[in-house]
Amino acid sequence: MNGNIFTKPTQVFKEALEAPNLGIAILIVLIVSLIFGAIFFIGTGNIILGATVTITSIVQWLVLSIIYYIFEFMFTAKQKHKIKTNFLGIISATSKLWLMMLVLEVLLGIALLGGIILTIAGILSIIVLVLILINSFILMKIILDTTNTRSFIAWFLAILIYMLLLTIASILTQLLI
């Protein structure tokens, strides 16, 4: 990986799609998910919640990858009669978004300290969230290899479906816990 997800997301995503590495993708997501679960455990003292957050983070990665793959199939199958990237490439590229989630998790951990640090961490978290959204759009644009308008519509629908699924999963999780 020659690029940084924060400075050269297009290059990072293209490399991940062209030369997917499932091992690195799984390692990235596992580390980020475990840290996220540990932060929730430290913040709440509830080990079940920490484990649930860890598992949910991994499932979210898979769901987002599946959504991107379905949208690629829907938007490119009619144009080119062939899907240009495989599911492994999309999984690998989507894991790069979880690297950005790692920064968000660090900020969440810092926010646990409270005080003025909480405000600074909150502002930085909003900036990182906006970067994650922008990079998820860039990934959709690269996957679809189409115009900004068409990519934006597909990205917006994909994010809408993803958020709907997360909401349903959150409600079910709350009912189970």
Q: Which stretch of DSSP H or E encloses residue 118?
A: helix 116-144
Cα separation, 122 vs 135, whole angstroms = 20
More confident residue, 105 or 158: 158
105-140 pLDDT, tens digit per residue, is: 888 778 777 778 888 888 888 999 899 999 999 999
Other Cβ atoms within 10 Å of 46 Cβ, number:
13
d(CA 68, CA 76) in angstroms, rounded, equals: 12
- If we measure between CA atoms, which residue out of 125, 151, 129, 126 comes closest to residue 138? 151
What one-letter code names the amino acid at 88? L
Distance between CA 165 and CA 130 in Å, rounded?
Answer: 20
Residue 39 has pLDDT above 80, yes or no: yes
Query: Residue 82 above 80 pLDDT?
Result: no
Q: What is the pLDDT of residue 32?
A: 92
Quickly state the pLDDT bin for 149 (edges 50, 70, 90): confident
User: Does residue 157 register a pLDDT over 60?
Assistant: yes
pLDDT class of 77 with cuts at 50, 70, 90: low
Q: What is the pTM of this model?
A: 0.84
Q: State mean pLDDT over 10-23.
A: 89
- 8 A C-beta contact, residue 93 and residue 16: yes
For residue 151, give both structure tokens.
């990519």
Distance CA 38, CA 61 (A): 18
Per-residue pLDDT band at 74 (split at 50, 70, 90): confident
Mean pLDDT, rounded, of the chain: 85
Residue length, the chain? Answer: 177
Is residue 77 within 8 A of residue 7, CB to CB? The reply is no
pLDDT of amino acid 81 = 47
Question: What's the CA gap between 77 and 72, in Å, rounded?
Answer: 8
Q: Please give the residue that has the higher pLDDT: either 78 or 137.
A: 137
Looking up tokens 């951990």, which residue turns up?
109
pLDDT over 70 (residue 152) = yes
Angle ∠(63,69,71) on CA atoms, nearest 5: 105
Residue type at 160?
A: L
Categorize the per-residue pLDDT at 25 as very low, low, confident or very high, splitting at 50, 70 and 90: very high
47: Cβ–Cβ under 8 A, 6 or more apart, which residues? 41
